[in-house]
Amino acid sequence: MLYKKLADKTEQALNEQVELEAASSQYYLAMASWAEVQGYNGIAEFLYRHSDEERVHMLKLIRFINDRGGHGVVPALKQPTVKFKSILGIFEEVLNHEILVSTEINKLVDMCLQEKDYTTHTFLQWYVNEQIEEEKMARQILDKLKLIGEDKGGMYIFDRDMGSLQTQDHH
């Protein structure tokens, strides 16, 4: 047989990444809802878009698994945190979460190299590049928030600007 199905080990690892992307989407959705309730409409818009982007990442993985003869599994998810301390705290969590996602993507890439699965390795390069951009964006947002400090006027302008800031997805 010429067509090689996705290895079981790879399929399982990719499905774990599906779950992480789905959980990320829910996590950012919870952040967006909290920010909106607090009156940060621009930040909420940004986080809603970021949540949608993570769902797209999940869908890309599911379709890839299915295209390779596996089964992309839709995961059950735990309810994410619903209350947050501050906008600064939210974006610190965003950065830490994106670093976690990058770590998991890198583990997948490493596994593909060990298994000599160059097709999946190539597919994952999009995620590697996406994570570089997502971490960079989170760091830049945190830098701005630290500059603003407790300045309410600065936070007002930051919130307004965040509403139009594009998330990093490159479909």
131 assigned ligand-binding residue: yes
36 assigned ligand-binding residue: no
50 assigned ligand-binding residue: no
Measured from the Cβ of residue 39, the count of other Cβ atoms closer than 10 Å reads 9
Q: Which two tokens stand for residue 16?
A: 């774990």
Residue owning tokens 């079981």: 8
DSSP sequence for 91-145: HHHHHHHHHHHHHHHHHHHHHHHHHT-HHHHHHHHHHHHHHHHHHHHHHHHHHHH
97 assigned ligand-binding residue: no
Alpha-carbon distance of 65 to 120, in angstroms, equals 9
Binding-site residue set for Fe cation: 21, 54, 57, 98, 131
Annotated binding site: 21, 54, 57, 98, 131
